[in-house]
Structure formats: C-alpha cells, structure tokens
Amino acid sequence: MTIDSVRGAPATAATAEPEPVQLLTPEGERVEHPDYPLELTADDIRALYRDLVITRRIDLEAVALTRQGELGLWASLLGQEAAQIGSGRALTDHDMVFPTYREHGVAWCRDVNPLNLLGLFRGVNHGGWDPAEHGFHLYTVVIGSQTLHATGYAMGIQRDGVLGSPSAGAAIAYFGDGATSQGDVNEAFVFASVFNAPIVFFCQNNQWAISEPLEKQSRIPLYKRAQGYGFPGVRVDGNDVFACLAVTRKAMEAARTGQGPMLIEAYTYRMGAHTTTDDPTRYRMKAEEESWKLKDPIERVKAYLTRGDLADAAFFDGVEDEAKAIAADLRKGCLAMPDPEPLSMFEHVYADRHPLMTEEQEQFAAYLASFEEEVAS
C-alpha cells in the first residue's frame, strides 16, 4: 500500500471517468441515449441557441462593467451556459429555483431582468425581484445554504398534497462542486432523502472551487455521492444543452410525481475566473483552458444548426445584433441606477417592524443628521 503524502490517505488506483449523458457531441453531432429521449423542433433549437448567446453577452458586459469600476464584483458563468439554459428551460411555472450567485442563465430563463442582477453587484439593492413572481429565489452568497432552503421548500410542497397533480411543482437547488464539501449540502441530502422531498440538486461541477481542484475534494465522481444518501445521481455533459435539458426535465418530473430527490452533476468547466477578484492563471494551466474551448457549448449548437440547414447567416447575425442591443441597454440601465437612500438598508429585513430594528434605524438617522448640523454650523 502506498500513502498519498499530501492527503494522508491510501492512494487509490486510477479509475476511468464515467461517461456522462450526452445528446450533442462537441462537434455538433446528434446522438441518442436510451434513458433520455429528446425531441426538439428547429424552432426549439434556435431558441436554445438564442438563449445561450444572449446569456453569454450579458455576462461579458457585466465583466466589462466590473473592470470599469461600475460593479463591485461579478461571478462569470462563461463556459457554463449550457448547464444553466438546459436545466432552466426544463422547469415549469410551478417549480422554484434556489440559485447561488452565478445562475445568470437560469435567471434569464425565469424572466428575471438582468439589470436586477447587476443591481445586487453594484450595491444598490439586495436582489430586486420577487421570488414568487419568477419562481426564482434571491442569489445566495453563503456557500451551500440555499440547498437547505430548497429542501425545506420542497418539504412544504409535499405537505401541500399537490404532488402528482397538474399543479405540482418541485424545487431545484443549484450549487458548485466546492459546495459539495459544505455541511449544509450534506445535511440537505439527508433531509431530502429521508423525507423523499421533491427536489433536484443540480451541481455544476466546473472542476475548480476557486483555486482548489476537484481531486482535492472528492475521491469519487460527485454524482455517486447520492447513492450514499439513498437517492439516484447522474452525470451529464454540462456543455451539452440538449442533454442538460433532457436530464433535468426527467428528474423534475420524477420529483413532481412523488419519486423523491435526485442529484445531477453537470460536468463542465469554468472558462473564466471564479469572480472578477480572482486570477486563475496563478493556479491552473493555459493548456487546460484551451482544451475546454474545443467543447464550447455555443459552438456545438451552432455547428448542429448549420450542418442541418436549420439556420442561416441571417439568423446568426440577428441573434448577435439582438445580444449586442440587450448588452447596450443593460450598460445604460446600470449606469443610470441611483444610489439608494442610506436608511433604506433597514427596509425588507422583516415582514413587520421590529423594535430593535426601529431603534437602530433611529440611531443611524440621528448619525446622518449630525453631518447636516456640522455643515450648518
């Protein structure tokens, strides 16, 4: 037996990576999977392509705004568009999403105004949308905590007695590979399993938990962890929008009909930095990034559309022009967002006024007023 000196654990024999569910190869060739049949019209595929392109353009504009000092921070989704658009388009109006802070593509699918996403990172609001209106909860920065919120929400759906009915919904919790090491996520797995809660855990395994590679987080593929908790798990090609759509659609339908939770591991790659405060060149090789460029989620859909004469140059140009126009409006709207009134930080904390909050608000108001008194004197 040999011992891994870094981890202090017995070294394991190298095992082949499992083949993920894939319906569209990196070369843009359609393939079938016996467990995940998927029928899409040409309009459906063009719509998915449009979602992918616009989402990426929004993301690039947000990164640029951050570099120019207009946003305090941004967590880019570059490279993960297929995982988010595929899973996001698999949802119904009755479902509820519990995101992290990177699900800009899912937010797009749930009709959340991208400007509201930027407001959070510009520091002018706390997430300016109604979760109930969009079926999309507020962004969560505390790693993994939203999985517990989602599990509790799913248990509520179960107790409403609607599972199996046309109005049934399910919860879906998004998180990254790094979050799987968090206690909150594992506690959510326990509760979801023993209560057979209608929830899908959607892990975007982009292979880097900031600067920590996946091999330092898990000895087995992440989707196999579900087995230990007593529910199924599956790995899907996270750069394949068709496969992400089919796998998520089946898992959500199973949850809505009372078949319990499921873990989806969308195997993808974070092409950009963890956030705009990160420099990935300090911890990963350029060659690794280059190899994943060949699996670009947008290019493979474009290749499929082109090869099958399902879209022409005018369509692709039109999508690009639309994406640029949305980005321009987004920039204009971001720069025009006013700074909030300082006292507004006390709003929306509790449903009703709280005595301690009222006291703090009054103290802060007096503190602000003291500056006006100094100027007057």
**Which amino acids are annotated catalytic?**
270, 274, 283
- Name the DSSP class of 24: B
Q: How far is residue 121's CA from residue 135's CA, in Å, rounded to a whole number?
A: 21
Cβ neighbours of residue 77 closer than 8 Å, sequence gap 6 or more: 55, 56, 59, 84, 102, 103, 104, 105
Q: How far is residue 27's CA from residue 93's CA, in Å, rounded to a whole number?
A: 33
Cβ neighbours of residue 160 closer than 8 Å, sequence gap 6 or more: none
Q: Which of 196, 131, 186, 132 is CA-nearest to residue 159?
A: 196
Task: Indicate the burial class of 338 (C-beta count within 10 angstroms; 0-12, 13-18, 19 or more).
Answer: exposed
DSSP secondary structure, 201-256, as one string: EEEEE-SEETTEEGGGT-SS-GGGHHHHHTS-EEEEETT-HHHHHHHHHHHHHHHH
Alpha helices in the chain (DSSP H): 42-67, 81-88, 104-109, 114-122, 131-134, 145-159, 183-194, 225-229, 241-256, 286-293, 297-307, 313-336, 355-376
Q: Are strands 199-205 and 262-267 parallel, antiparallel or unpaired?
A: parallel
Q: How far is residue 347's CA from residue 27's CA, in Å, rounded to a whole number?
A: 51
**Residue 202: C-alpha distances to residues 53, 264, 310 (Å):** 22, 5, 31
Copy the structure tokens of residue 361.
Answer: 């608000």
Return the ∠ at Cα 113 (arms to 109 and 119), rounded to 5°.
130
Sole residue written with tokens 């579900």: 226
How crowded is residue 35: how many other Cβ atoms within 10 Å of its Cβ? 9
**Residue 9: C-alpha distances to residues 13, 47, 181, 218, 294 (Å):** 13, 48, 17, 12, 35
